Copies of this chain bind each other. A is one copy, B any other.
Amino acid sequence: MPLRAEIVSVGTELLLGQIVDTNAAYLSRALSEIGITLHRRSTVGDNMERLLAALNEAMASADVVLTIGGLGPTMDDITRDGLAAALKDPLQLDENIADRLSDFFRQRNVPLVKSNLRQAMAPVYGRIIDNPNGTAPGLLFENLGRIGIALPGPPNEFIPMVDNHVIPYLSAKTGGVGAIRSLVLRVAGVGESLVEEMVKDLMLDSNPTVAPYAKVGEVHLRITARADTPEQAAELILDRATLVRARLGTSIYGENDTPIEGAVVELLRQRRETVSTAESCTGGLVAQRITDISGSSEVFPGGVVVYSNTAKTDLAGVPAETIARVGAVSQEVAGSLANGVRERFNSTYGIGITGIAGPTGGSPEKPVGLVYLAVSGADGCEVEKANYIGSRSIIRQRASQTALNMLRLRMLLTV
């Protein structure tokens, strides 16, 4: 049976922005992986009237309503009573839980106050869900043809309860049928609109779906498929990914969580080649990204960060005369940085970057965002000119992204 679900997160601290609702994202993903469609999520504060409104709206369109938070012992904790009222599944004291709570407090020499016993209330038609990491059990309500599941807010209690109880329970309810799988293809060097142009017919299909997401300096194409079994969903994904790959070719550099520096390090390792970096405006960002990948020491002997002109000359061998003639931000200096650092580290490739990251330092001829990027190799040096917009940090990020992609494409074109 396909199930529709909604999530209601409860807590004034969420509405005040004091905490980020990572639990809701965790539960959303877990549900999607067993094929349960989520139509909406809501967040309300510790206020019974608004909680009831949200629960009633959710129950109007969903078979399962899951709540997060508001199960503590204090007066603020209203979720228990709210779900009982919304599902007309009343609460009664569960003697077993009450005994367990009493033991818990006695062992800690803490007096059990009356409000603690609120955590021993269980639904008459439903049941409790064990919480090995806290005092508040979860609650499962069942009535009116609906299921209500109340889970506590602390992630160390919440996550194991989702994994060990909620997902197996709901998965069995759906008969184990209905799986959603997804795959992200990561694209560099092509803008979002152009990517969309290339796959827009596929974006009209409802299964699998294909959707582009713009990131800094790259685009992620997410393919999502639904099927009766995980295997069928995986097959749908594979077919669609093959089609997308045929269209986008080498613009796709990797899948899922692999950043472009991961793809570059992997390529270098396969080819037993190395790269070194000479960075001005990116200030070490390319080196930092490469060395963020475990195992990068095999392919990256090192690099230089040459902010001052003297450093460009001393460490990367850029002729002082060139800088005087064409300026530090120029095609010549980018090329010279790449060639110089390649020679100094005796590496297969050299990357050179010089530009104006801003927000100050721009001029009409050389505006903020102007960056020259060079990749040098045995067969010569290629330089690109870019005009990025955005903050200093975005300009640097985009420049590092372009440089890494230039190196990647260079390797793909060099057998």
Residues of A at under 8 Å CB distance from B? 12-22, 24-32, 38-46, 50, 54, 57, 72-76, 104, 107-108, 110-113, 115-116, 132-134, 154, 156, 160, 180, 182, 191-194, 196-197, 200, 203, 211-216, 222, 224, 277, 279, 281-288, 290-292, 294-297, 300-308, 310-311, 314-315, 344-345, 357-360, 387, 389-394, 396
Q: Name, among A27, A194, A315, the residue most crowded by chain B CB atoms within 10 Å (CB to CB).
A: A315
A76 is contacted by which of B28, B203, B284 (Cβ under 8 Å)? B203
Q: 9 closest Cβ contacts across the A-B interface?
A: A283-B291, A17-B29, A284-B284, A17-B28, A284-B287, A302-B311, A301-B308, A41-B43, A284-B288
Q: Give chain A's interface secondary structure class.
A: mixed
Copies of this chain, tallied across the complex: 2
Given known pairs A17-B26, A287-B284, A288-B285, the reply for A304 and B315 (CB within 8 Å) is yes
Contacts of A344 in B (CB 8 A): 314-315
Contact A50 B43 (CB under 8 A): no
Contact A387 B301 (CB under 8 A): no
Contacts of A14 in B (CB 8 A): 25, 28, 41
* A284 to B21 CA separation, bound complex (whole angstroms): 30
Contact A392 B294 (CB under 8 A): yes
Contact A16 B39 (CB under 8 A): no
Q: Which residue of B lies closest to A300 (CB)?
A: B307
Given known pairs A18-B222, A22-B20, A224-B16, the reply for A192 and B311 (CB within 8 Å) is no
Contact A358 B294 (CB under 8 A): yes
Q: How far is the CB of A250 from chain B (nearest CB, A)?
A: 18
Q: How far is the CB of A231 from chain B (nearest CB, A)?
A: 20
Q: Name, among A156, A194, A213, A360, the residue most crowded by chain B CB atoms within 10 Å (CB to CB).
A: A213
* A311 to B287 CA separation, bound complex (whole angstroms): 14
Contact B307 A304 (CB under 8 A): no
Contacts of A292 in B (CB 8 A): 283, 392-393, 396
Contact B311 A284 (CB under 8 A): no
A311 is contacted by which of B72, B200, B345 (Cβ under 8 Å)? B345
A197 is contacted by which of B22, B113, B282, B294 (Cβ under 8 Å)? B113
A192 is contacted by which of B72, B194, B281 (Cβ under 8 Å)? B72
Contact B15 A38 (CB under 8 A): yes
* A26 to B182 CA separation, bound complex (whole angstroms): 28
Contacts of A394 in B (CB 8 A): 133, 156
A391 is contacted by which of B50, B133, B180, B314 (Cβ under 8 Å)? B133
Contact B193 A113 (CB under 8 A): yes
* A17 to B22 CA separation, bound complex (whole angstroms): 9
* A286 to B287 CA separation, bound complex (whole angstroms): 11
A12 is contacted by which of B104, B211, B283, B303 (Cβ under 8 Å)? B211
Contact A45 B50 (CB under 8 A): no
Q: How far is the CB of A384 from chain B (nearest CB, A)?
A: 11
* A26 to B17 CA separation, bound complex (whole angstroms): 6
* A277 to B305 CA separation, bound complex (whole angstroms): 9
Contacts of A54 in B (CB 8 A): 40
10 A-B residue pairings within 8 Å (CB atoms): A13-B213, A17-B31, A74-B193, A76-B211, A107-B387, A156-B216, A285-B288, A287-B305, A292-B393, A301-B310
Contact B25 A17 (CB under 8 A): yes
Contacts of A28 in B (CB 8 A): 14-17
Contacts of A31 in B (CB 8 A): 17
Contacts of A39 in B (CB 8 A): 15, 44-45, 50
Contacts of A357 in B (CB 8 A): 291, 294
* A104 to B359 CA separation, bound complex (whole angstroms): 19
Contact A196 B115 (CB under 8 A): yes
Given known pairs A50-B39, A291-B307, the reply for A74 and B212 (CB within 8 Å) is yes
Q: How far is the CB of A125 from chain B (nearest CB, A)?
A: 28
* A180 to B203 CA separation, bound complex (whole angstroms): 45
